[in-house]
A and B are shown apart, each in its own frame.
Chain A
């Protein structure tokens, strides 16, 4: 992970902050910020602890011990927050919960959740070194949840970069990201969005790793290895079924080629290991039996006497030719062939049978010098295949833009064929036609407001929220992306519309937080406290808690 300082007017401040504070721990961890330490959550796999497996909600709600309370109260970096309710995402969508804090306090160190304490004695509060903030004084319905994520933003990228159609899987967004761009500053404190995923490109069929930008820190935090992007179709461009089929086939072939590349690399690694072993023996032999002056080391391999293809040119001497000429004309040809075969047979005489005891050991014991080992053929580094391998190995997400049901079906087949663990279907206009198939495959769906184009189509009302609700009912993980800049602010409203169509509030909050992080290939690092239910129109951000501390929407510290 890399920290890239904000360039511009605040360079001095950014540098000072970067120097004074090391990389926050929250960025280095892989667990969710809001989860207590005894509940280890692996977002990409099953729960690791027994408690989380058996009763995740109970484990999440376990009260902290008095010893821990005492320790945290004495910690200057700790923050105690009192809110009305809070949302905890979980590794299983069904376990995610909106919990009532029941007048208790939530303790954090940095932005990392430590424990929930049902009561903190007044005397302890007065002597506490930790910061105690009762946010129910500001709003009786204060609601805490992880910072929201826009899973498909256009901030920090110039439009020309995004429209570059010459990108490949080896061109990451981090290479051309413009962190000095303005306009995003008020997003965390007005909308609660603290993380943005920025793709490498939108016009190219394939583009490299997208970047995840954490907005709540100065300098801006950049996680350069987000998901890879691929595009089967887009609603803006015309394409035929044939051309889209070609794109799917190309992706399939790219994976096959990447698999071959992987095999070749593995073979090289194996050969290299053997080479190193042989070389060690070779050197050991000459160390034991130093060469005499003028002597030559054993060649790497005996020079082949045969030509490629097993044939060797056989010449006839003038005497032999003269003898053939003396024969009758009809016999000359046969005689010449026989003679040449005879001569060739002599030249290609099989080498002597290998001595079964031959080899390095034999050479050592017999005193014969081992052959000099030959360095194996190196496989040239291919960044595109490397990117695809990271997807095949389950390290990175592959985000594929596909809209029609046929394309999505082909993509799911591809996922099955190559055993892809992490796939995001972007756009997915017709995903509602095959929710069961998507749910079974385990792919995520990223919905954008441009799922239906604004012109040229007779629009069907509320396609996006209705589709989000329908997919959620079929247990398909859904998230939202703005596909723009200022549109990011409307993502909570989009989730609220999905609730109107039947999505549960918990699912809607999951879509805005955990699923969006998953689809981006990273993690959020901040928490947001709203004045009420985050999906209601009158909810406002009260403050943002990130590894650097607490920031109030009103500007107060």
Chain B
């Protein structure tokens, strides 16, 4: 990890010194060929490059954001915080003096939090995220179906989500590998999988392909693991190789399940194969069987299993709203999966936190379920989910506490760049909507 940080620091330094390097190189070149270059050419080169270099230096200008309070991580805040962002990382964290005025180039707000992380995102064409004929395809990578130019990523960013794990859909029992992405950015080449996605839900059961039932689905997975043991490593295919990495907890597994019997089966399978797994609740519409509150919560608490919950909305039942508070009470780790394009224009992350808090969840737990918890599950705690020096510059600036629906998300910074700016002074004149947004 240290090596990784050093490498990134080196990269940042080189980026910061890029303009200096360019000037030096030109200088060297000019010195070398001094005798050959006529004066007019030299003047022309300097005149042409000066504006370009000025533009380069302005792009490297640090972004300074200050807030009355910054949640460095849930439960740990810094009053009058000032963050300096250079490149794609937070280069400095300090405090500004009380009553001091912010300069015109400083962005101000009330509360600053880390960018949210969505552990299970399927935005985009659903039928592209799973094989239709085969139901066991763990070797497939979800990022192959990712379209960075999809206009809906803007809406995801406007909710404060700066990192997401793009996951296969629930329609295959082993749909493929979920990959960490930054919404709207091109994926890193050969990025490692965050987890392998399994599904025991009814969506994975079809009358046209195996499995057709829950018992069939569990048996399919068991059989696949049995076959793995009977083969030598050399004989393993691509699918078996991916499956092999999950045995013993080398790779995480996310198992989609909605009903108590599916959760029970997932727990048994995890125990048998010694999987490092977490359970993904909610179907395509974010609904799940509320019986799990009565039937499986004690088992989950005993097993110490982690739960990924769907976003809460106005249509969520009282029991679904009460689930996060009950999980927190029983000490079951949980995170929220909040991104959805069916959000009726509302900020699902903020809405989910507010609804869960109405049912008794504490503010720290609500914020953790969208920042530090998913970061640790995705093994990116050293990069995202908190606001410390040298972390990725993924930030959300709010007009109040993020879980309070009376506050607005003012600014989103992803990888050191402002990707969403909804500050009142930036509001466009009213065009197509009362929010001042335009369809065009």
Contacts and interface: CB of A to CB of B under 8 A. Distances in A.
Interface of A: 186, 190, 432, 449, 452, 454, 458-464, 466-467, 469-470, 482, 484, 486-487, 489-490, 493-494, 496-497, 499-501, 535-540
Given A460-B432, A497-B406, 11 more contacts: A432-B434, A459-B343, A460-B345, A461-B346, A463-B434, A466-B434, A484-B315, A489-B321, A489-B358, A497-B405, A537-B358
A499 B408 CA distance: 10
Given A461-B435, A486-B318, A537-B405, A454 B351 contact: no
B345 A463 contact: yes
A492 B10 CA distance: 50
Contacts of A493: 314, 351, 354-355, 358, 405
B320 to A, nearest CB: 9
A297 to B, nearest CB: 74
A500 B407 contact: yes
Contacts of B439: 458, 460
Contact of B437 (A460, A494, A500, A540): A460
B433 A460 contact: yes
A190 B360 CA distance: 11
Nearest to A458: B439
Contact of B155 (A186, A461, A497, A540): A461
A487 B404 contact: no
A183 to B, nearest CB: 9
B358 A540 contact: yes
A500 B406 contact: yes
Nearest to A469: B434
Contacts of A467: 434
B158 interface: yes
A538 B342 contact: no
B127 interface: no
Contacts of B407: 500
Contacts of B318: 186, 190, 486, 489
A463 B433 contact: yes
B159 to A, nearest CB: 9
A497 B400 CA distance: 12
Contacts of A538: 357-358, 363
Given A496-B405, A499-B406, A463 B317 contact: no
Contacts of A186: 318
A460 B155 CA distance: 10
A459 B345 contact: yes
B316 interface: yes
A458 B346 CA distance: 13
A535 B357 CA distance: 12
B406 A496 contact: yes
Contacts of A458: 439
B155 to A, nearest CB: 7
29 contacts: A432-B434, A452-B345, A460-B432, A460-B433, A461-B346, A461-B435, A461-B437, A462-B435, A463-B433, A463-B434, A484-B314, A484-B315, A486-B316, A486-B317, A489-B314, A489-B321, A489-B358, A493-B355, A493-B358, A496-B405, A497-B406, A499-B405, A500-B399, A536-B404, A536-B406, A537-B353, A537-B354, A538-B357, A540-B360
A429 to B, nearest CB: 10
Interface in B122-172: 155, 158
A100 B211 CA distance: 64
Contacts of A190: 318
Nearest to A451: B344
A449 B314 contact: yes
A539 B360 CA distance: 9
B345 A462 contact: yes
B345 A537 contact: no
A500 B434 contact: no
Given A449-B314, A486-B317, A535-B406, A462 B346 contact: yes
B403 interface: yes
A490 B345 contact: no
Given A186-B318, A190-B318, A497 B346 contact: yes
A484 B354 CA distance: 20
A500 B351 CA distance: 13
A461 B434 contact: no
A391 to B, nearest CB: 29
A167 B73 CA distance: 57
Nearest to B342: A454
Contact of B314 (A469, A470, A482, A535): A482
B44 to A, nearest CB: 49
Contacts of A459: 343-345
Given A449-B314, A454-B342, A540-B360, A466 B406 contact: no
Nearest to A491: B314
Interface in B317-336: 317-318, 321
B274 to A, nearest CB: 40
A386 to B, nearest CB: 37
A210 B358 CA distance: 30
Contacts of B363: 537-538
A461 B345 CA distance: 4
Contacts of A469: 434
Nearest to B343: A459
Contacts of A482: 314
Contacts of B321: 489
A190 B316 CA distance: 14
A500 to B, nearest CB: 5
Contacts of B406: 496-497, 499-500, 535-536
The 7 tightest CB contacts between A and B, nearest first, are A490-B314, A496-B405, A432-B434, A537-B354, A537-B357, A460-B433, A466-B435
A364 to B, nearest CB: 75
Interface string B43-85: 0000000000000000000000000000000000000000000
Interface in B384-440: 399-400, 403-408, 430, 432-435, 437, 439
B293 to A, nearest CB: 14
A454 B360 contact: no
Contact of A490 (B343, B355, B360): B355
A454 B408 contact: no
